[in-house]
Amino acid sequence: MRGAFFRALMDLASTDHRITLIVGDLGFGVVEPFAKQFPGQFLNAGVAEQNLTGVAAGMALMGRVVFTYSIANFPTLRCLEQIRNDVCYHRANVKIVALGGGFAYGALGVTHHATEDLAVLRSLPEMTVVAPGDPIETDLATRAIIARPGPCYLRLGRSGEPVLHRSGIDFELGKAIRLRDGEDLTIISTGGMLSTALDTATRLDARGIRSRVLSMHTLKPLDEDAIAAAACETGAILTLEEHSRAGGLGGAVAEVLAEIEGVHVPFRRIGLPQEFAPLAGNQEYLRAAHGLGAESVVQSVLNLLEIARA
């Protein structure tokens, strides 16, 4: 995802000189090409995220389209007051990019686990929240948030995420993408868990269970129509995210389901407990330890469908 983001950003920056990138003293392997090609559109603010965000807001209010970029929690939680008061309150055209959503930097411990960011950022007025599922969605999401005025949050994986869309897709902020169809249940995923959602659906096929898979790349605005359709047309709904179950995708979908009159569909949130991870390790290890591997998700689906059929 990181590579797809920078390729799209550089492509757009070559023709739109408003686009500016501000970083927090990191990522030189991927940042340096942008800095060399667009020196007048680049700034390294150092390890000072509050100042980085304030500078970005000021530049945006002077007509720039400003991207702030750093690891996991640093461009979000460390400078949350500046995001709220400087960026959102002024509807500034600032695009916050967090590298390494979830456990992507798992070996560095809790300080680098981005597991509450979606809940926090989607609660802010004026903020658009986007978590693409693969490099193709990342490219299209980057272009879409530049075209969308106002504050946006783009949550990326770290590297190595597989390409999951094999043909052109119709990408629109606030509209989920249906990758598979089925009537037994709907799996709604966000961010890098899309590959696990598709793996889960394939494993369920072998059991005769047909799954609809939705990539909910935009958490705000949320595609409420896609959720309502899933509630009416499939037997159960399961959300899948590398994020706390509190306030993220699962919470957002639950809010919609709670207000659909006359529809009662079995529902389960698969995500992280509302506690700090007691372990450190790579992303694959931490996902498995928290029940986010495909086989664990399959078992959760089977349990959910058993309840639905009771």
Give the containing element (helix H, strand E) for 155.
Answer: strand 152-156
| DSSP conformational letter for 154 | E
Question: Based on the domain organization, do 102 and 191 belong to the same domain?
Answer: no
- The mean pLDDT of 240-265, rounded to a whole number, is 95
Angstrom distance (rounded) from CA 182 to CA 185: 7
Q: Is residue 144 part of a domain?
A: yes
Owning domain of residue 226? 177-309
Question: Based on the domain organization, do 19 and 129 belong to the same domain?
Answer: yes
- The mean pLDDT of 267-282, rounded to a whole number, is 93
Domain CATH number, residue 152: 3.40.50.970
pTM: 0.96
Question: Based on the domain organization, do 116 and 218 belong to the same domain?
Answer: no
Question: Based on the domain organization, do 11 and 138 belong to the same domain?
Answer: yes
The residue that leads in pLDDT, 253 or 166, is 253
pLDDT tens sequence across 164-196: 998 779 999 999 999 999 999 999 999 999 999
- The mean pLDDT of 224-241, rounded to a whole number, is 97
Q: Is residue 281 part of a domain?
A: yes
Question: Based on the domain organization, do 189 and 251 belong to the same domain?
Answer: yes
Quote the number of domains for the chain: 2
Question: Based on the domain organization, do 134 and 187 belong to the same domain?
Answer: no
Domain CATH number, residue 276: 3.40.50.920
Calculate the CA dihedral of residues 276, 282, 283, 288 and round it to 10 degrees: -80
Q: Is residue 161 part of a domain?
A: no
Q: Is residue 251 part of a domain?
A: yes
In sequence order, what are the residues at sequence separation of 6 or more whose Cβ sits closer than 8 angstroms to the Cβ of residue 264? none
Question: Based on the domain organization, do 223 and 287 belong to the same domain?
Answer: yes
Angstrom distance (rounded) from CA 283 to CA 293: 11
Q: Is residue 86 part of a domain?
A: yes
pLDDT tens sequence across 17-68: 999 999 999 877 889 999 999 999 999 999 999 999 999 999 999 999 999 9
Q: Is residue 72 part of a domain?
A: yes
Q: Is residue 169 part of a domain?
A: no
pLDDT tens sequence across 136-160: 999 999 999 999 999 999 999 987 8
